[in-house]
Structure 1
Amino acid sequence: MACRKVDRTIARKIIDSIDNFLFDCDGVLWEASKEIPGSADTIAALRKLGKKIFYITNNSGKTRSQYVEKCKSLGFHAAEEDVICTGHAAAQYIKAQNLKGKVYCVGNTSMGVELDSFGIKHFGIGPDEVPGSIEQIGIQQHVNLDPEVSCVLVGFDPHINYMKMTKAASYIRKNGTLFVATNEDTHLPLAGDLVVPGTGAVVGAIKIPARKEPVVVGKPNSVMFDLLKKEHNLDPSRCMMVGDRSDTDIHMANLCGMDSLLVFSGDMSYDRLQDLQKSADTDDKKLNIPKYYCDKLGDLGSFIQQFI
């Protein structure tokens, strides 16, 4: 399965065939708190051509309103309805299940804000210290399970510990408990030698003892796009996902029937893409191959400017 580098002809084809552009953020539009040159101008050019822009992120550590503020601070126009992050999508998904009871949330304060916005009762966010006597008398003496819990939601949690893992897995083992995860990203997208475990590490620590797989809202799964498609009446064939990761952004695009554009300004490189193409001998790996690629989003933008 071959993919093609964006040139003027391909850029024209993209503009003619795509109405809705879905952008991953970190590594595509910005790095940390700095815009990747040309990205904001590209978004502005697409808007001038009447295209709809969405910002799609696996990050559960920010609310939609916080993402809007970050977008604006870096020169990207955005409204809350343009942003879909995993904390909001998870809350939206849980609300749609019409569950009674409470959510035990292994997560962060932003996830709590999103749950609150849907009127969902929850608890568990923040530190849950392991008592000093736990090694002497056992963990069972310290855990009291709430019988009203009907859902466990797991996202990025800097306070993850043995106590939280025990409670979450125990709730999940109850018959009928919904198990939802924001994403399973392996690490945070940070430069340098420091490796910071991502939400996938937190989810793994819970799903292994629970012996149950979660409904994963974030990329590469289809849940976030399914919610967005329903809310905005999107036609997948008129949508393009732009990302820097083949195993999340591009995989979701192909899974959902969208066009895809991979940029090399973040996680992926041209050499890695070439290796991926050579080894794409299974259906799952084929879903990781983009339709188009370019070095950075601004390369597409430079062609788009010619069409305005």
Structure 2
Amino acid sequence: MACRKVDRTIARKIIDSIDNFLFDCDGVLWEASKEIPGSADTIAALRKLGKKIFYITNNSGKTRSQYVEKCKSLGFHAAEEDVICTGHAAAQYIKAQNLKGKVYCVGNTSMGVELDSFGIKHFGIGPDEVPGSIEQIGIQQHVNLDPEVSCVLVGFDPHINYMKMTKAASYIRKNGTLFVATNEDTHLPLAGDLVVPGTGAVVGAIKIPARKEPVVVGKPNSVMFDLLKKEHNLDPSRCMMVGDSCHTDIHVAQKCGMSSLLVLTGVSSLEDVKRYQDQSDPESKFNIPNFYCTDLKEFGKLI
């Protein structure tokens, strides 16, 4: 599968054939709290051309409204309907299942806000201390399972510990319990030598003892795009995913029938693309973008 560098001719074809641009955020539009130069101008130019812009992130640590505020603070126009983050998408997915009972949430306060917005009963967010006597009398004496739990939702949780892992896995092992994860990202995208485990580490600590795989909402899975497509009546063939990660952003685009554009300001490099092209594994082809450019500033100059 070919991966072509965007030139003016290709850029014109993209503008003529794409109505909806879906942008990953960190590594594409900004790094931490700083805009990647030229990205806001490119978004503004696409809007001026009449294109619909969506912001798509695996981050469950912010609500949609918080993402809108961040977008605005960095120069990006955004409304809540333009943003889809995994906390909101997970709550939306759970609501659509028409479950009775409660959600046990291994997550963060932003996920709780999103669950509340759909009227979903939940508990579990925040610290759950491990009793000092656990080694003497056993964990069974400290865990009381709520029989009304019908779903376990797992996202980024800085308070993850043995008690939460035990409760979540025990609820999941019950027949009929829905198991949902916001994403399985391996680490947080931070510069420097410090490696901060991502949501995938939390999910792994629960799915391994539960012996069950979750419904994963975030990229590279299709759940977020499926929800967005239904809500906005999107035609995948008229959509382009713009991302910095071959194995999440580009993969979901190819799986869902969208065009894909890789920018080289984040996770993946052209060496990664070449490696995927050389692999015989059929899944690797989904990691190969249709197009690439150095950054959004370069793309903006061509449209």
The amino acid across from 2:152 in the alignment is V
Other structure's SS at 1:95 match? helix
Q: Which residue of 2 aligns with 1:6?
A: 6
Instruction: Show CA shifts across 1:218-265 (max 9, x none).
Output: 000000000000000000000000000000000000000000000110
CA distance in 2, matches of 1:284, 1:270: 18
Q: Which residue of 1 aligns with 2:299?
A: 300
Q: Which residue of 2 aligns with 1:287?
A: 286
CA distance in 2, matches of 1:149, 1:272: 43
**Structure 1 residue 140, shift from structure 2 partner:** 0.2
The amino acid across from 2:171 in the alignment is Y
Instruction: Show CA shifts across 1:109-128 (max 9, x none).
Output: 00000000000000000000
CA distance in 1, matches of 2:253, 2:263: 14
**Structure 1 residue 298, shift from structure 2 partner:** 1.1
Would you say 1:90 and 2:90 are equivalent positions?
yes
**Structure 1 residue 20, shift from structure 2 partner:** 0.1
CA distance in 1, matches of 2:283, 2:53: 28
Q: Which residue of 2 aligns with 1:33?
A: 33
**Structure 1 residue 276, shift from structure 2 partner:** 2.1
Other structure's SS at 1:104 match? strand
The amino acid across from 2:184 in the alignment is E
Q: Which residue of 1 aligns with 2:131?
A: 131
CA distance in 2, matches of 1:272, 1:5: 15
CA distance in 1, matches of 2:198, 2:155: 9
Which structure 1 segments of 5+ residues have no match? Answer: none
**Structure 1 residue 277, shift from structure 2 partner:** 1.7
Other structure's SS at 1:287 match? helix
Q: Which residue of 2 aligns with 1:260?
A: 260
Other structure's SS at 1:172 match? helix
Q: Which residue of 2 aligns with 1:59?
A: 59
CA distance in 2, matches of 1:256, 1:18: 15
Q: Which residue of 2 aligns with 1:277?
A: 277
The amino acid across from 1:303 in the alignment is L
**Structure 1 residue 152, shift from structure 2 partner:** 0.1
Q: Which residue of 2 aligns with 1:165?
A: 165
Deviating 4+ runs (over 4 angstroms): none
Would you say 1:68 and 2:68 are equivalent positions?
yes
Instruction: Show CA shifts across 1:253-283 (max 9, x none).
Output: 000000000011011112222222222x122
Q: Which residue of 1 aligns with 2:237?
A: 237
Other structure's SS at 2:212 match? coil
Instruction: Show CA shifts across 1:58-80 (max 9, x none).
Output: 00000000000000000000000
Question: How do 1:140-179 and structure 2 match up within 5 A?
Answer: 140-179=140-179
Q: How high is the sequence identity, in percent, across the aligned residues?
A: 88
Q: Which residue of 1 aligns with 2:114?
A: 114
Taking structure 2 as the reference length, the TM-score comes to 0.99
Question: How do 1:180-259 and structure 2 match up within 5 A?
Answer: 180-259=180-259
Other structure's SS at 2:287 match? coil
Which structure 2 segments of 5+ residues have no match? Answer: none
The amino acid across from 2:285 in the alignment is K
Taking structure 1 as the reference length, the TM-score comes to 0.98
Aligned residues: 303
Q: CA RMSD in A?
A: 0.5
Other structure's SS at 2:183 match? coil
**Structure 1 residue 297, shift from structure 2 partner:** 1.1
CA distance in 2, matches of 1:91, 1:278: 39
The amino acid across from 1:121 in the alignment is K
CA distance in 1, matches of 2:61, 2:155: 8
CA distance in 1, matches of 2:272, 2:179: 34
CA distance in 2, matches of 1:275, 1:178: 37
Q: Which residue of 1 aligns with 2:45?
A: 45
The amino acid across from 2:298 in the alignment is D
